[in-house]
Amino acid sequence: MADNSTDIKFNENSFKKIEKHNVDEQEKISAPSLTFFQDAVRRLKKNKAAVISFWLLALIVVFSIISIWWTPSDPNAQHVAYANLPPKIANGQIPGFTGKANVGGRIVDKYAQAKVPSGTYYVLGTDYLGRDLFSRLMKGIALSLLIGFLATLFDLVIGVPYGVVSGWKGGRVDTLMQRFIEIISSIPNLVIVILMLLLFTPGLGSIVVAMGITGWITMARLVRAETLTLKTQEYVLAARTLGESPFKIAIKHLVPNLSSTIIIQTMFSIPTAIFFEAFLSFIGIGIPAPNASLGTLLSDGQKTFRFLPYQMWYPAAAISIIMIAFNLLADGLRDAFDPKTQE
Amino acid sequence: MANDSQATPKKLIEVKHLKQYFNAGRPNEVKAIDDISFDIYEGETFGLVGESGSGKSTTGRSIIRLYNPTSGEIKFYGEDISKIKHKDMLKFRREMQMIFQDPYASLNPRMKVKDIIAEGLDIHHLVKNDEERDARVNELLDLVGLSRDHATRYPHEFSGGQRQRIGIARALAVEPKFIIADEPISALDVSIQAQVVNLLRDIQKEQNLTYLFIAHDLSMVKYISDRIAVMHNGRLMELSTASEVYDHPLHPYTKSLLSAVPLPDPMYERNRHRKPYDDSIEHDGKERSLKEIVPGHFVLATDEEVSLYQASAEEYNEK
Amino acid sequence: MEKILDVKDLQINFDTFAGQVKAIRNVSFHLNKGETLAIVGESGSGKSVTVRSIMGLLANNAHVDNGSIDFKGKDLLKATPRELESIRGNDISMIFQDPMTSLDPTMPIGKQVAEPLLIHGSMSKKKAMARAEEVLELVGITNAKNRMKDYPHQFSGGQRQRIVIAISIVNYPEVLIADEPTTALDVTIQAQIIDLMKELQNKIETSIIFITHDLGVVAGIADRVAVMYAGKIIEYGSVDEIFYNPQHPYTWGLLNSMPTLDTSSDRLYAIPGTPPNLLNPPAGDAFAPRNPYAMQIDYEQMPPFYKVTDTHYAATWLLDPQAPKVEPPAAIKKRQEEYHQLVAEGKIQSSVKGGAKDGE
């Protein structure tokens, strides 16, 4: 700790007193202003898996939107003559998309066998009724995303307000609302859908109603727990002392601070809903024939899996990718929004 | 400092037999405030000192009606506000404001500084348009010593002291007459505490404000307050002018508290004698209330104890 | 006097998104055997980082770029994780700020106190429990024998902090590092804990590094004081020298901005501005922009340590022989007058007179 007065150079002004201090200068914030979301996006960008998932999902969404107006061919049109054709692209040069299949040890050009005119081909092949599987997959994915969208809708429209009200009111109201949640969440989803079959024909309607009854419960619980902490935060108290109405407090203070919880939970509930629909369709009480959904595609493909594996591979891959992408993105978002959980 | 010589100043706040119980009637009942009474005069700073769990913060929050008092009266300019609702409440919200303890929790992290400060302006429709709103926000930023460039920033970009100043600007926006400062400096660094305390004093002078200053830091309370009440276990132990409480403490709890305050003076610290306090004397089942021992100096006592306290007050005079 | 811990030229940087934060900039200090060294500073001054580096408890994004921490002839910065583990909680232990989170709520306190003994081997369970009881008694848990099986929630905040202290001293460590151990406590309990630590120091002959921002606490517990600002030590000396004869304008400002029980002036002295951002630490004295006594050179060159006495050094250009004489603030002048009087009366020892007890 001795002096280190080695190469210090003084000049005549060195010991002149500085009269004016620019304290304001010090108080200036030089760093660019990052909003909370910009900061979260910055962290999210560091997570490669989440970024890849995001772009993958974006691509899938674009494809699904396109499928509303356009598919390579009519997904429900049957060409029995063209049944069970393997995948083929263009002239069949690409391995795996050659349009040939192994029948009893011999490679057979199925397209030639079925007398498909040259120039007509099915990218992912056809099913046992000769329907274009690529078009059906597009429709199926679109339906899955629709289900995901509806799940989000229920989360936001029922789950969030329910949780906010329950947490904010507290006391007896909270107890009642929580008991109600416990009661409906104690009934398995499957039971509700089966009961629905008594009222409706199987289809999108009953799936949506079942989700409407139970799908938002996790969201409501999370939001309530978060609201219970937020409402004791001093900025919420400050808003109350200023005379802000509870509704405005919810909009201005609670929801913005709940947004990370809400976004993350939504990202987790979408794949759950997608899987729920696929599962119902797979066991036959979901989307009815002839409509395509990932569940019905899997169900159909599964029957001929040993001979025509492509009929199951592609829908299975699609649902896996969608589920994994949503989960990875949700994980990434959680880390991005809540840096504390990272370490 | 206290102006005892002036003609009786106007009472701004009168708290009478205030009780605040949580979970009342249930096994986990907590008597956070157990029958306290005091007045706050217009223009003064009333210090409320106590340790954690003494009920000092609850007192502030009951007065500003963040809680609904279990019983008792809180009069503001003579009008009982302990039960007002809705429309009257909104009017009352402009008169009384609060400055909070934790500068990191008291500002909404998702709002810009100007929207935080203007929250009260929006609620009470105090400005007509955006230009007026911006002008008023700038005025308030100037008042608390922040730069106008700060208006569009988010709270996390500021230091603790700067955040506390934003909180003060938010409270001042609605032009209150009475401000409850709930440990406003305990979370700040020493060098910043003085800045905030000076700011509070300047504003008080400028706008003729009345403060209820809640704190556990006794030296700062003594410095800023005209009168001080010492709180313990939900009750007021002693109430008098700041110098009386510090120089002539009567209640053993006050004495104990004062003997524990660390001072930046090694010689004093070497010779310090702590006076332990045994709170069993509060639990002997006898009725106690605040009694005036010498003029302006109140102590929680039974009728019999009054003369004992008077005797010890005498002793101070003899010294 | 024997040095038990010697920190030299410590330099610690943190990697953050915005760049490298130079948290500790060439910090050197030592701890003598049996003394209490207080490190005082505001949040962000680097006081906690410094002691955490001694314990090997730095965050993942921190790296020590220079320096050495010598403990009984061993450089702790070069120690292997296993060596550190055997030192931690055994030879050097630490008390943390929050008694609520320092204890395991699911374990009886007797077991928690005995745990360091069991981890470091050397003792049978029965013996360890006996020692735990002894130590709990020592830190003032009444009826320790019957309370060994109680859980943390059955104790009050002050008692919990005593238990935390019991855990940290159960091995009779040679160095005890206390990181703001009283900040979360009420004044009366704080006073008890400080008394307890002083008492323990005599009983188990440990050396203490006490981290705090509260100058009042420092005055009560320290033998020597180091004042930190913006990642550097700017002044160090005996407690009397720092409190009665401070030299650095920052120390002046700190002492001046605290109201004592007899301050009654209209305004408190407030250090203007805020501490510098250590992403780009200033070239000269980091305190210069807030310093009413700043000179041109404060903005240009970092001041070296000037010797005030054999034990007292301060890094301020005001002590340079070429610097003009300045008048410290009134309250500081009063302290200095008091100092001279106390020295004259022989109530405190000036190390100039008393000779180099602690010189380097």
Say if residue B76's pLDDT is above 90: yes
Residue type at B144 in one-letter notation: V
Tens of pLDDT, residues B137-157: 999 999 998 989 889 888 888
> Does a structural domain hold residue A322?
yes
Q: pLDDT, tens digit, for every residue of A149-161? A: 888 899 899 999 9
CB contact under 8 A, B195 and C269: no
3 state SS for B297-314: EEEEECHHHHHHHHHHHH
Q: Under an 8 A CB cutoff, do C214 and B262 touch?
A: yes
Instruction: Report residue A7's pLDDT band, with 50, 70 and 90 as the boundaries.
Output: low
pLDDT score recorded for residue C31: 95
**Chain C interface disruption, residue of B45, B190, B217, B244, most C CBs within 10 A:** B190
- pLDDT one-digit tens code per residue, B247-276: 999 999 999 999 988 888 888 888 888 888
Which of A173-182, B25-34, B275-284, C254-263 has the largest mean confidence? A173-182
Task: Pull the structure tokens for residue C316.
Answer: 């301020």
| DSSP codes joined into one string, C289-309 | GG-TT-BGGGGTSPPPPEESS
* pLDDT score at A20: 62
CA distances from A220 to A113, A166, A177, A270, A335 (A): 57, 9, 10, 15, 21
Which stretch of A94-98, A312-316, C47-51, C105-109 has the lowest confidence by average pLDDT? A94-98
Phi and psi based region of residue A79 (left: phi greater than 0; alpha: psi -120 to 50; beta: remaining):
beta
Banded model confidence at residue A342, pLDDT cuts 50, 70, 90? very low
Q: What are the counts of helices (DSSP H) followed by strands (DSSP E) for chain C?
A: 12, 12
pLDDT band at A2 (very low <50, low <70, confident <90, very high): very low
- Per-residue three-class SS string for chain A: CCCCCCCCCCCCCCCCECCCCCHHHHHCCCCCCCCHHHHHHHHHHHCHHHHHHHHHHHHHHHHHHHHHHCCCCCCCCCCHHHCCCCCECCCCCCCCCECEEEECCEEEEHHHHCCCCCCCCCCCCECCCCCEHHHHHHHHHHHHHHHHHHHHHHHHHHHHHHHHHHHHHCHHHHHHHHHHHHHHHCCCHHHHHHHHHHHCCCCHHHHHHHHHHHCCHHHHHHHHHHHHHHCCCHHHHHHHHHCCCHHHHHHHHHHHHHHHHHHHHHHHHHHHHHHHHHHHHHCCCCCCCCCCCHHHHHHHHHHCCCCCCHHHHHHHHHHHHHHHHHHHHHHHHHHHHCHHHHC
CA atoms of B65 and A237, how far apart (whole Å): 10
Whether pLDDT at B32 is above 60: yes
Average pLDDT, chain B: 90
pLDDT > 70? residue C352: no
**Interface subset of B 90-129, CB within 8 angstroms of C:** none
State the distance between the two ends of chain B, measured CA to CA, in whole angstroms: 24
Mean pLDDT, residues C69-82: 89
Alpha carbon A30 to chain centroid, angstroms: 38
pLDDT tens digit string along C281-294?
888 899 998 888 98
Q: Which CATH number do you get for residue A313?
A: 1.10.3720.10
Tokens 């090694």, located at residue? B266
pLDDT digits (tens, 9 = 90+) for B84-139: 887 888 889 999 999 999 988 999 988 999 999 999 999 999 999 999 999 999 99
Q: What is the mean pLDDT of residues C102-127?
A: 87
pLDDT mean across residues, chain C: 87
Report the range of poorest mean pLDDT among A118-122, B55-59, B256-260, C272-276: A118-122
Mean pLDDT over C99-127 rounds to: 86
> What are the residues of chain A with a beta carbon less than 8 Å away from any beta carbon of chain C?
1-5, 8, 10, 13-18, 21-23, 25-27, 31, 42, 343
- Which candidate, B229, B233, B237, B227, places its Cα nearest to that of B301? B237
pLDDT of residue C252: 93
Q: Is the pLDDT of residue C356 over 50?
A: no
Point out the residue among C187, C244, C272 whose CB comes nearest to the CB of B260.
C187
Query: What percentage of chain A carries pLDDT values higher than 90?
Result: 29
- Closest CA of chain B from A7, distance in Å: 33
The structure tokens listed for B77 are 């300019």
Answer whether residue C120 shows pLDDT above 80: no
The answer to whether the CB of B229 falls within 8 A of the CB of B290 is no
Q: Which of chain C's residues have a Cβ under 8 Å away from the Cβ of A27?
A: 273-274
Q: Which amino acid is at A85?
A: L
pLDDT digit string, tens, across residues A70-116: 888 888 888 888 877 888 777 777 777 777 777 777 787 877 777 77
Whether residue A9 is predicted with pLDDT greater than 70 in this model: the reply is no
What phi and psi values does residue A297 have, to the nearest 5 degrees?
Answer: -60, -45
Q: Is residue A86 part of a domain?
A: no
Residue in this structure with the two tokens 């279990």, named with its chain if needed: B70
Q: Which of A93-97, C53-57, C69-73 has the lowest mean pLDDT?
A: A93-97
The single-letter code of the amino acid at B300 is L
Does B147 touch chain C if contact means CB atoms closer than 8 Å?
Answer: no
- C184 pLDDT above the threshold of 80: no
CA–CA gap between residue B181 and residue A320 (Å, rounded): 57
Residues B282, B283, B287, B292: what is their CA dihedral angle, to the nearest 10 degrees? 0
Average pLDDT over residues B24-41: 89
Beta partners for residue C14, in sequence order: C21, C62
Assign A50 a pLDDT band (cuts: 50, 70, 90): very high
Percent of chain A with pLDDT over 70: 90
- Domain assignment present for A82: no
Determine whether the interchain pair B193/C271 forms a contact, defined as Cβ–Cβ distance below 8 Å.
Answer: no
HSE value, Cβ hemisphere, 13 Å, CA-based, for C26: 10
Residue of C318, C315, C324, C64 whose CA lies nearest to A4: C315
Considering only CB atoms, B110 lies closest to which of A24, A234, A256, namely A256
- What pLDDT does C73 receive? 85
In a domain, A84, yes or no: no
C72 versus C251: which is more confidently predicted?
A: C251
Cβ contact B192–C272 (<8 Å): no
B259: chain C residues, CB-CB within 8 Å: 191
Mean pLDDT value across residues A186-211? 81
The winner for highest mean pLDDT among A335-339, C34-38, C194-198 is C34-38
Q: Is residue A208 part of a domain?
A: yes
Tell me the three state secondary structure of residue B274. Answer: coil
Where helices occur in chain C by DSSP H, the ranges are 47-55, 81-87, 109-119, 125-138, 144-147, 157-169, 187-204, 215-221, 239-244, 249-257, 330-344, 351-354
What's the pLDDT at A33? 67
- pLDDT mean over B274-281: 84
Domain boundaries, chain B: 11-318
Lowest mean pLDDT among B16-20, B217-221, C2-6: B217-221
Q: What residues of B are in contact with residue A28 (Cβ under 8 Å)?
A: 147, 149
Alpha carbons A11 and C301: distance in angstroms, whole number: 12
Average pLDDT over residues C197-203: 88
Which residues are registered as beta bridge partners of B40? B13
Supply the pLDDT for residue C261: 56
CA distance C280 to C293: 23
Structure tokens at A42: 């910055």
Sign of CA dihedral C21, C25, C28, C31: negative
**Residue A250: which domain range?**
46-76+132-342
- Decide which of 3.90.800.10, 3.40.50.300, 3.30.70.270, 3.40.50.2300 is the CATH code for B11-318: 3.40.50.300
* pLDDT tier, A228 (very low <50, low <70, confident <90, very high otherwise): very high
At residue A341 the predicted structure's pLDDT band, cuts being 50, 70 and 90, is: very low
- What residues of chain C lie within 8 A of the CB of B263, using their CB? 216, 219, 260-261
Q: Considering only alpha carbons, which residue of chain A is nearest residue C26?
A: A1
pLDDT-derived band at A238, boundaries 50, 70, 90 = very high
Best of B91, B102, B119 to disrupt the A interface (most A CBs within 10 Å) is B119
Find chains touching chain C: ≥3 CB pairs under 8 Å.
A, B
Contact A193, A207 (CB under 8 A): yes
Determine the Cα–Cα distance for residues C38 and C244; give it in Å rounded to an integer.
16
B261 and C260 within 8 Å at the Cβ level: the answer is no
Structure tokens at C136: 């709990």
Number of domains in chain A: 1
Q: What is the pLDDT of residue B128?
A: 92
Which CATH superfamily does the domain covering C1-91+175-360 fall into?
P-loop containing nucleotide triphosphate hydrolases (3.40.50.300)
Residue B176 has pLDDT above 70, yes or no: yes
The verdict on a CB contact (< 8 Å) between C264 and B1 is: yes
pLDDT at C36 over 50: yes
Tell me which chain B residues have a C-beta less than 8 angstroms from the C-beta of C254. 190-191
Q: For chain C, how big is the Rg over CA atoms in Å?
A: 21
Q: Say if residues A187 and A251 touch (Cβ distance below 8 Å).
A: no
Residue C279 has a pLDDT of 85
For the segment A297-325, the average pLDDT, to the nearest whole number, is 87
Question: Which residues does residue B19 pair with via DSSP β-bridges, in sequence order?
Answer: B34, B71
> Could you tell me the residue ranges of all domains in chain C?
1-91+175-360, 100-170
ipTM: 0.88
Q: Do B262 and C194 lie within an 8 Å CB cutoff? A: yes
Q: Point out the residue among B97, B124, B149 whose CB comes nearest to the CB of A241.
A: B97
Distance from CA of A23 to the nearest CA of B (A): 11
* CA–CA min distance C173, chain A (Å): 27
- In whole angstroms, give the CA distance from residue B277 to residue C192: 12
Residue B269 in tokens: 């610290």
Q: Is C192 on the interface with B (CB under 8 A)?
A: yes
Which residue matches tokens 């609605």?
B174
**Contact list, A335 vs chain C (CB under 8 Å):** none
C218: left (phi over 0), alpha (psi -120 to 50) or beta: alpha
In a domain, A246, yes or no: yes
Sheet order of strands, B96-99 included: B96-99, B178-182, B210-215, B45-50, B227-232, B235-241, B297-301, B289-294
Determine contact, residues B193/B233, Cβ cutoff 8 Å: no
CB contact under 8 A, A4 and C304: yes
pLDDT at C121 over 90: no
For residue B272, what is the nearest residue in chain C, using CA coordinates?
C220
**Residue appearing with tokens 């400055």:** B99
| Residue A219 forms part of a structural domain | yes
CA distance A108 to chain C (A): 59
Q: Is residue A107 one of the residues assigned to a domain? A: no
The pLDDT of A132-139, averaged and rounded, is 88
B152–A35 CB contact, under 8 Å? no
In this prediction, residue A85 carries a pLDDT of 80
**A residues 231-270 closer than 8 Å to B (CB):** 233-235, 237-244, 248, 252-253, 256-257, 259
- pLDDT of A333 reads 87
Lowest mean pLDDT among A222-236, B277-291, C255-269: C255-269
Q: Which of C186, C195, C267 sits opposite B51 (nearest CB)?
A: C186
Please check the confidence at residue B51 and state whether its pLDDT lies above 70.
Answer: yes
